[in-house]
Structure 1
Amino acid sequence: MKEMTDEQLSLLKQFVLMCKANPGLLHQPQYAFYREYLERQTDETFEENQEEEKESDLPLPELDNSGVIEDKTCGEEYAMGDPEKEVSDEDMEKAQEHRQAAQMAFADGDYEKSVEEYTKAIEFNPGLAILHAKRASLLGNWAEAHLDLALSCKLDYDDQANEWLKEVEPNAKKLHDYQRAKERLADEKETRARQERVRRAQEENKRAAEENKQKYGEDSDDFDGDVPPGLFESFKNNPELAKIMEELKKDPSKIGQYLNDPNVLNLIGMMGGKGGGGFNPNAFNMPTGDTDDSTPFKQEPPKKAPEPDLD
């Protein structure tokens, strides 16, 4: 589709300003097409908003947040330790000391102190997954805690880690199910949107076909199969061409008059190959050369003059 010229854009802006100044203008019959367009856009926007509200209505699961720091700073980052660090025996001993201090603070209900001690333990031994897991559970990061604890039990089983794994598993499962439900809703929304795009495209094609039929008459049904791309556009840009094609349809023998017209030949090629191919005689009820009617289209070889007898 061609872009609008500056003059066309200027006229469109003036028309919109007129509609703003006088909304009743859109109710006049000659502007019905624009009113229908605006109404359709409004309906589509409303439907999209309804879908977004439906998705946002998915309630968060109820989690057991006992033992979680409720007033922790949103987005606060905690030290993760150097994953490349070579842990010495001394580092392991210090990490164990801070781990025990964290457990004591947790037992006393001092969850912030417990997080601090686990963070210090992580700095000394960053590769110990159970330290990350317990701190994650204190921060309410249940999915991360479950992943770390499960990995810890798999690599080096520990009764304490297994016990903590069972504690965080219910919340982790709820969050996992919630995430899957969100993804399912998103997939369903995308599927509906894709189906809606297909439906609109089909409606636009149907509307365009009906408009072409009304504009060019019932003769638009005389072509075999689908109408070649660009056929009606050619008629629209060159009304004289439409008259020529109608004339050829009524009297195919006149085609010889237009064999030097590239526009006619190009259009015949479109009709013959649905956009690329040979000429289709059936589109004009023209003879094919298989019957006696094809005589005007047969070319006999030129008769040669008798050669003199040189003998």
Structure 2
Amino acid sequence: MDSARVAELQQLIFLCKSNPALLHDSSLAFFKDYLQGLGGHVPEKPGLADHDEDEIIESDLELDGEIIDPDDDPPQKMGDPSVEISEERCDAAQLLKSKAMQAVAENNLEEAIDYLTEAILLYPSSAILYAARARVFVKMRKGSAAIRDADTALKINPNSAAGYKSRGMAWSLMAQWEAAASDLRLASKLDYDEEIYSILKKAESNVRRIEEHRRKYDRLRKEKEARRIQHEKHHQSEKSRDPQVEDPDSLAVLRDGEVISTHSSDELEKKLKAAQNLSRVVVLYFTATWCGPCRTMGPVYTSLAEKYPKVVFLKADIDELNDIAHRLNVSGVPTFFLVKDGKEVDKVVGVTRIGLETMIKRHTGQL
């Protein structure tokens, strides 16, 4: 008999010994029938008390504003900051900027981008040019491109009101309301205008709703955790007497083809460690219940987990694991990390199915 098949059978038996409740899974009905046919005893299916019957299902959070998907265009051309700027270059860049503004007035946005890109290549140390192009990208509803330009403008001039305004507007397009409110407040302090006020008002309203939502479900999760601890105390003595019982969190990652939610830093570390021991690539997906794009990505992520059963697909709520998100510098959702041999090897904020699948293939040696 094929040794690989024998090893798989041994692993299945080990899992069932560790967690007999698995025998009641419909996919293992044939195995349960086989055991019973041999006269084996299969423990009764655990009652509701042994399961997470009080799973917290968060309601959708109603927020103001239309949500767009992140743009997947290749990064726009950036200027070389080491270029020496002559008066001729500066004048030519200013002329191109004027042409770009005229194109914007005529709603020729692609043409405006071309003019501004040419101007940036001539005068790459101008925060004004980057902020101007960011604003056009906002008009084109290309939030990711706008943020890249606004970031560059703010690196050149940390007091660029236009940079903060463009980035804040881009964050609002992508439903990153807290980041949007932060940038728009700074823009308003530096150079107040009615447009900033209008968008900031909407962003702050959404931030208040998000914070109220977090507080509510944080309280519910704490109550649930207290019940879980109390429940575990009742079974601790029985568990300690059974040498076959293994850590269910570590075993959970061995169930191929599933998305595994993590609810604590300890739980996440155990699963990452188990994946490392198995030499599995891990995809760690930070999401949020209030995130519109995440609702679209959810089914996609599940289908990828089914398609790549030897990759560990973990999911974490940015509000629930805020400390981990902060440590990993997660500034928005959806954010994806790829972990290999216990180390972060890739990261992307907002991505299409094709982009995420390509990343997975690259790090699993399938490209």
TM-score band, normalised by shorter chain: 0.3 to 0.5
* Structure of greater Rg: 1
**Normalising by the residue count of structure 2, what TM-score does the alignment of the two structures yield?**
0.37
The one of the two structures with greater contact order (alpha-carbon pairs below 8 A, sep at least 6) is 2
Give the structure with the higher percent helix: 1
Between Structure 1 and Structure 2, the one with more strand by share is 2
- TM-score, normalised with respect to structure 1: 0.43
